[in-house]
Chains A and B, each alone.
Chain A
Amino acid sequence: MRDFSYLRASSVEEARRAAAMPATMLLAGGTTLVDLAKCGVTEPERVVDISHLKGLDTIRVDAQGAYIGALAKMNRVAADAAIKSAFPAVSESLWQAASAQIRNMATIGGNLLQRTRCAYFRDPATFPACNKRVPGSGCSALEGVNRGHAVLGTSDDCIATYPGDLAVALIALEAVVHLGDRTVAIDDFFLLPGTTPQKEHAMQPGELITAITIPASPAARRSTYLKVRDRQSYEFAAASAAVGIEFEPDGETIRDIRIGLGGVATKPWRARAVEDALRGKAIEPDIIKSASRLAVEGAVAHGGNHYKIELAPRVVERAILKTGAMA
């Protein structure tokens, strides 16, 4: 790890000023920053610790929705009774992520900004070429070991999977990211790699996430997060789905449905085609199955990850059935 200077920000304003300086990184939980600094992926000259800032870890849930301060820890949000009740998919996405220890460290803001697990990205000493690290240098994953890589939202420059769970639930529930003065819809917050995979989100230099808000909705209240992986625990998703459903008063017809997909795309993925196909329909297995296939429209595999195209719709299908059956 390269040497750096360390300072603690005493206010959000100070943190933003620091974040605008070159080669400066903000440190919250540290689970991504310290990890990537050891890998040599990030080489900050200055690390500004924002983890001690007061007032940024509020969790508040009311009739309008949830307000979650950027420094709230994953475990606190996962365990929050009001979140569990009004946004079950959020709680479930959090407790199925990482490990109990990491969830005690990692913050909600940092969680959104976690970087891909692409092994080529994470090993600059061996693989100098990586368009995400060094724009224009190439991508080793396209024809490499890419079992975990994305099949949706990819480009010729990058197929790195967005690894997080929480953002998948947030995409489905149409959360809003607060960057101090301005807000960005979460779907706009994350960027497709395109020809600029180094740009992963819509933040400008000097900005930091201060909070996320999640609007309350019947679909949020009836929501689940389903995560499928090789190992039972402590692993990133092979494929995951967050689903929220609101039924018409008849209790059968789908009025509103929201679907987020994880583990298969370069950004937290909204499966709008599936949603469109199911609005106004009832939960019938055959309809759900065929609609779920639409989740991977346009998917492109690169060898080792072909199974994800088969797996993702099945995860969506199961998650819809599970959500529909919620009490």
Chain B
Amino acid sequence: MTNRTTIHLEINGQNQALEVEPRVTLLDALRDHLQLTGTKKGCDQGQCGACTVHVDGERVLACLTLAAQAEGRKITTVEGLSEPGGELHPVQAAFLDHDAFQCGYCTPGQIMSAVACIREGHAGSDDDIREYMSGNLCRCGAYPHIVEAIREAAKVMS
């Protein structure tokens, strides 16, 4: 408790101040301190992709990012992808249509990764989608439907 610092994060367009130890990861800051639990903890060691968020518009792993590192950056989580009760992001809608998930736990990470994958221009072919989505493990085995969903969403977004 001796080593807390106040950090300021811009999350989904809102400024948040929180008092945490420097060792607190962005993932734990989001989930435990800000109660933004859409971002998931699957491995906490950079091996599953469930914690994928956007920092300054690029997909990164929140479990290997210190919250302090993210100060001054713009952070987007799945909660910020579409307005609550508003229209779904095309990727979210495509995930629902194509049944691109089962248990739903890897899903926010998949969706954040998919949005970036399309934006990066890596959704041009199914093989590209597969490769550039390989940082997001899904144990339920929704991969073929994830590929379909991204292919469709990419069309809508272009």
Contact = CB atoms under 8 A, between A and B. Distances in A.
B61 A100 contact: no
A34 interface: yes
A101 B69 contact: no
Given A5-B3, A34-B25, 15 more contacts: A3-B23, A4-B22, A6-B22, A30-B64, A34-B64, A35-B45, A99-B136, A100-B116, A100-B122, A100-B133, A102-B135, A104-B59, A105-B65, A232-B134, A233-B130
Interface in B22-57: 22-23, 25, 44-46, 49, 52
Contact of B134 (A30, A31, A37, A99): A99
Contacts of B136: 99
B66 interface: yes
A49 interface: yes
Contacts of A5: 3, 22
Contacts of A105: 60-61, 64-65
Contact of B135 (A39, A52, A101): A101
B5 A6 contact: yes
Contacts of A1: 23
B60 A101 contact: yes
A105 B134 CA distance: 16
Interface of A: 1-6, 27, 30-31, 34-35, 37-39, 47, 49, 51-52, 75, 98-102, 104-105, 232-234
A105 B131 CA distance: 18
A99 B134 CA distance: 7
A45 to B, nearest CB: 11
> Which of A101, A102, A232, A233 has the most C-beta atoms of chain B within 10 angstroms of its own C-beta?
A101
Contacts of B58: 75, 104
B68 interface: yes
Interface residues of B, number: 34
B107 interface: no
B141 to A, nearest CB: 15
B131 A31 contact: no
A74 to B, nearest CB: 12
B133 to A, nearest CB: 8
B106 interface: no
B65 A101 contact: no
B103 to A, nearest CB: 20
Contact of A37 (B23, B65, B72, B135): B23
B60 A104 contact: yes
A214 to B, nearest CB: 24
A234 B21 CA distance: 31
B45 A233 contact: no
B135 A98 contact: yes
Contacts of B72: 52
The residue among B65, B69, B113, B120 with the most chain A CB atoms within 10 A of its own CB is B69
B3 A101 contact: no
B21 A101 contact: no
Given A34-B25, A35-B46, A100 B113 contact: yes
Most buried by B among A1, A27, A30, A52: A30
- Nearest 5 pairs of A and B residues by beta carbon: A99-B135, A6-B22, A233-B134, A104-B58, A34-B64
30 contacts: A1-B23, A3-B3, A4-B23, A30-B64, A30-B69, A31-B46, A31-B64, A34-B63, A34-B65, A38-B44, A39-B45, A47-B22, A51-B69, A52-B72, A75-B58, A98-B135, A99-B49, A99-B134, A100-B59, A100-B113, A100-B116, A100-B120, A100-B122, A100-B133, A100-B135, A101-B49, A101-B61, A102-B61, A232-B134, A233-B134
B117 interface: yes
A2 to B, nearest CB: 8
Given A38-B44, A38-B45, A49-B68, A101 B59 contact: yes
B132 interface: yes
Nearest to B134: A233
A102 B116 contact: no
B47 to A, nearest CB: 8
Contacts of A39: 45
A51 B69 CA distance: 8
Of B44, B52, B58, most buried by chain A (CB within 10 Å of CB) is B58
Contact of A6 (B66, B122, B131): B66
Nearest to A235: B134
A142 to B, nearest CB: 25
